[in-house]
Amino acid sequence: MILPVLLVVVGFAALIFGANWLVDGASALARKHKVSDLVIGLTIVAFGTSAPELVVNSFASFKGYSDIVLGNILGSNNFNLFLILGLSGLIYPIRVQSSTAWREIPISLFISILLLFLLNDFLFAAPSYSSRLDGLIMLVLFGGFLYYVFHQMKHEVPTASSDTHQSNLKIWGLIIIGFAGLIVGGQLVVTNSVSIAHTLGVSEKIIGLTIVAAGTSLPELVTSIVAASKKNSDIAIGNVIGSNIFNVLLILSISSIIQPIEYNPKFNMDVLILIGGTIFLFTSMLTGKRKQLDRWEAAILFGFYLTYTVYLVMQEL
């Protein structure tokens, strides 16, 4: 029992360091080719912080651990929305741009509602699972989202950076080592999390929703907390919304294409919570100070997540 726990910790450490190295290397490569900082943040950094979920889910899907796949996606998105955004908003009220309030948040809400329909096969008469067709639909939508981001950012001016002086050897070294860390870490987390679940008699669903989801969301947590402490609201909320969109449209789609994901209807509560939390976030843009997540609203998000986590654990006892 002690060894699997230690290996999970080592796996998470490899995921976090791997994601950081991958982001650093990819960002340096992008800046060397005159890509703007804002585009880097919305694409490369968003992908980098979601990379642990991608690697963990790819291994879990390949091995047929459907509950780990779905638990990680839904758990990570709720962790991002309720705990990370709630904690960030408690540190400093989060002011958002008009495009985030009226476009990105509604896009995230639409994706969450679509996910509920696809997973329950309301659109197709078939047993509940995330099929390869569902995966392709989400992947096409992801392409549309990337088009939207680049269309919005096409007039951005690249920022001069010292990264242009870094050698190609150092840049590619960071990228390769980062990917290696993600692969090794993902394998360790999936294999040993399942082992712990079986040993304790805890369901893979709960392990995915809590331990795996929290661990793979650590890059988002660190990024948003640091951003909030520096009063950088755009990064704090953009990181959360962007990561949630990436998790569903890219990571779940790839997981479904690797192997169709059997859907446990018990996850419907988690999807509905995600939808409700996103609606609350959108509503908060209209209450109190407009286009701002106030501290009392952040406290509601944070408090709800803690309460729900306790409820999940109590259900297993």
Domain 2-154+166-316: top CATH class = mainly alpha
- Return the SS3 of 261: strand
Provide DSSP, 232-256: -HHHHHHHHHHHHHHIIIIIIHHHH
The pLDDT score that the predictor gives to residue 125 is: 44
| Token pair 């795996």 in the structure block, residue | 212
Residue given tokens 């709800």 in the structure block: 304
- Spans of the chain below 50 pLDDT: 125
- What would the pLDDT profile of 40-57 be if each residue is shown by its tens digit? 666 776 777 778 888 888
Closest CA to 49 of 209, 278, 247, 301: 247
CA angle 251, 154, 20 (to 5 degrees): 40
Amino acid 40: pLDDT? 65
135 within 8 A of 305, measured Cβ to Cβ = no
Helix axes 2-32, 168-200, angle to 10 degrees: 150
- In angstroms, the CA 44 to CA 213 distance is 21
Helix, strand or coil, per DSSP, at residue 166:
coil
Dump pLDDT digits (tens) for 60-97.
899 888 999 999 999 999 999 999 899 988 988 888 77
Asked if 219 contacts 109 with a C-beta cutoff of 8 angstroms, the reply is: no
- Please report the pLDDT score of residue 157 as a whole number: 53
Task: Please tell me the pTM assigned to this model.
Answer: 0.81
In the prediction, which pLDDT does 288 show?
67
- Residue 82: what pLDDT? 95
The reported pLDDT for the residue numbered 42 is: 63
Q: Across-strand partners of 293?
A: 94
> How do the domains of the chain map onto residue ranges?
2-154+166-316
